[in-house]
Structure 1
C-alpha cells in the first residue's frame, strides 16, 4: 500500500494515471497537487474515491513538505509541467519556472522528508518526461534510446531536459530513489484541446480550419495515454532505481497521416450517427461533405523538430511492457470519447476564450 502524491493530477496524463492507479491499487491513498492552470480541471477527477485534491504550486516547497508529512507520503509521481511547445516559444519563463524550479522544489522536499528526516525509508520519486529532450532525428536515424545524447531544440524541451538532469543528480548525489520515463506523443481522454488530436477533432466539429505546420511530414510516435499509464505502473512496481525508461506507442506517423485519420474518423462517425449532424451542424460532415476540406497548410513552427521515434526495447525486456493499442484503435476510442464529452470540453473552451 502506497501513500502517493501525483503532481499535475488534474491535467491530461496525470488524471488518467490517477484513474488507472485507483483501478489497480484501490486501497492506496492519493493526493493530487495541481495549480489548476488552464490545463488542469477538477472535473477530470470526478467520480473517484480516495483522492484528495490540493490546489497548489509545486514551487511552494513548504506546502509540498507539509503534504508529505501530513499524508505520510512515500511515493511522488511527477506529471506537473508546462508542455505546449508553441507556448514555450512565445513565453519561455513559465516553462523554466514550472519545469525546472518546480521539479527542484519537489526534489528538495522529498530529500528532506525521506533522507534527512526519514532515515532513508523506502520511497520513490518518479519523474515523467518527454522524448523531445533528445532533439530531432533524420529519416534514417536510429530511434531514441535511453543513451541517446540530449539535444533539446525548444524552450519546452530544454526545460524538461534540465528537470531530468536534476532528478538524476538527486539520485546520484544524495541517494534519492528515483526513476524517470521519457514518453512519446500522448493522446486520449481529458487532453486539453490545444494539442493536435483534440484540437483537430473539435475544429472539425465546428467547421474550423485544420492548420498543418509546414509540409505535414514531421513524424511523431503516438502513444495512447492508457498505455502510458500502464507503463508507468510497471516502472513503479519493478523499475530499477536510478534508471530511465523510454515509453513509446510503436506508432511512428507523419502529421498529415494523423490528420487524415482524424478526417476519416469524423466522416465515418457522422455517416453512422445521424444525431451528430444536429449536434454539430457547422461540421462539413453534417452536410455530407468531407472533413478533409478543412485542411490548410500554415507556416512552420520555429525550430520544429522533424522526427521523433522511440526505442522501447528496454522497458519491454526488463518490465514486459507492450502497448495494447495501435493508432487506429486508440484514435477511434478517443474520438468516441470527445463526441460524447461535450459537457467536459465546452466549459474548457469557454474558460480558455475568457482567459485570452
Structure 2
C-alpha cells in the first residue's frame, strides 16, 4: 500500500509512520512535512533507511508540491495541522491557512489523482465543552478556540468532498494524546521537562479542566483501523478511557519525578478555556474492534522515562522556541 502521510515529522504523524513501517515492511510511505517549529525530522530517524520511506519537505498549502506527492498514492493520512490552542489565540491566521486551506489543497489533489482513501485526523475539541455525558459522532460542532474552529472547518470540508464529489473520506476525532516525541509546548512534556530541570510548572486557573488521555500508539492503532475498515463519509471518535482534571494530572506528574506542589505556579486561565472534553468511542469499538492497549499508569511512566533519557532531543527544541 502506498500512503501519503502529511505532518509525518510531528508527534502523532511520526508515531504513525514508525509504527506502520515497522509492522508492515511492504508499505510505501511518503511523508510531506513543512518542518515548522514542531516538525522534527529526527523523529523519523528510526525508519530513515527503510526502503519504503520517502521524505519530502513542503507545505500542504502549495498546490504544486501536493500534486507531485499525491500522484500514485493509494491513501492519504492527513495529520498536518497547526495545533496549539494558545498560539491560535495569539494569532489565528496560520491556523486557518494550514488547517482549512491546506486541507482543501490536499482534497483537491486526492480527487484529481483518484486516491482510494483520505483519512482526515481531527480532534475532540471541535465539539466544544461538555459538562456531563460524552459526545457521539453525531453531536453538533461548537468549537470555542480559533484552533478548534479551524479544525471543525476542515472536518466539514473533508466530509463535503465525500458528499459532493464521492471522495472516499473518513474523519477521526481523538482525545488528548501523550507519549514520546511530543513537542514540549504541550502540557505533559512541558511539565515533565520543566520538573526534570527543577523549574516550576504553570497550571491554568484552579486546575478543574478535565480531559481524556490517549496514548499516541493507541491513537495510531485506531487510525489504522479506520484506514482499512472505516466506512466512507463516516466520523470515528477515538478515546483513551482515562479522564483526569488538570490538577490530578499535575499531581501524577509531580509524583512521577519526585517533586512537590511547591513547584506549581497557578496562572491566569486561558481565554475561552473549555472545561471538559469527553468522547463516546463506542462506534469504533463496536464496528472496528478498537480498544486502548496502553494503561495510563504504564503509559505515563514510560513517557516520563523517555524524556529522562532523551534530553538531547528536547533541550534544543525548548531553547529554540524559548519555552519555559
Q: TM-score range by the shorter chain?
A: over 0.9
For the pair 1:345 / 2:314, whether they are aligned, the reply is: yes
Contact 1:16–1:229 (CA<8 Å) still a contact in 2?
A: yes
Shift of 1:47: 2.2
In the TM superposition, 1:1-356 aligns within 5 A as 2-48=1-47, 49=50, 50-69=52-71, 72-114=72-114, 123-138=116-131, 141-267=132-258, 290-353=259-322
1:281: which partner in 2?
A: none
Deviation of residue 259 (structure 1)? 0.6
Q: How far apart are residue 66 of structure 1 and its match?
A: 1.1
TM-score by structure 2 length? 0.97
SS for the counterpart of 1:261 is: helix
The gaps in structure 1 that reach 5 residues or longer are: 115-121, 268-289
**Cα RMSD after superposing both structures:** 1.3
Q: CA deviation at 1:59?
A: 0.4
Q: Tell me the distance in 2 between the aligned counterparts of 1:320 and 1:218.
A: 30
Contact persistence 1:266–1:291 (CA under 8 A): no
Distance in 2 between the 1:340 and 1:333 partners? 11
Shift of 1:350: 2.6
Answer yes or no: is the 8 Å Cα contact 2:201–2:265 preserved in 1: yes
**Cα separation, 1, equivalents of 2:260 and 2:13:** 31
Are 1:204 and 1:291, in contact at CA under 8 Å, matched by a contact in 2?
no
CA shift digits 1:240-282 (9 cap, x unpaired): 1111100000011100111100010111xxxxxxxxxxxxxxx
Q: Is contact 2:3–2:77 with CA below 8 Å preserved after alignment?
A: yes
Offset at residue 61 of structure 1 (A): 1.2
**Match of 1:216, SS?**
coil
8 Å Cα contact 2:18/2:46 also seen in 1 = no
Contact 2:14 2:43 in 1 (8 A): yes
State the number of aligned residues: 321
- TM-score, length-scaled by structure 1: 0.88
Spell out, residue by residue over 1:120-141, the C-alpha distance to the aligned partner (whole angstroms, 9 max, x if none). xx61100000000000011xx2
Structure 2 segments unaligned to the other structure (5+ residues): none
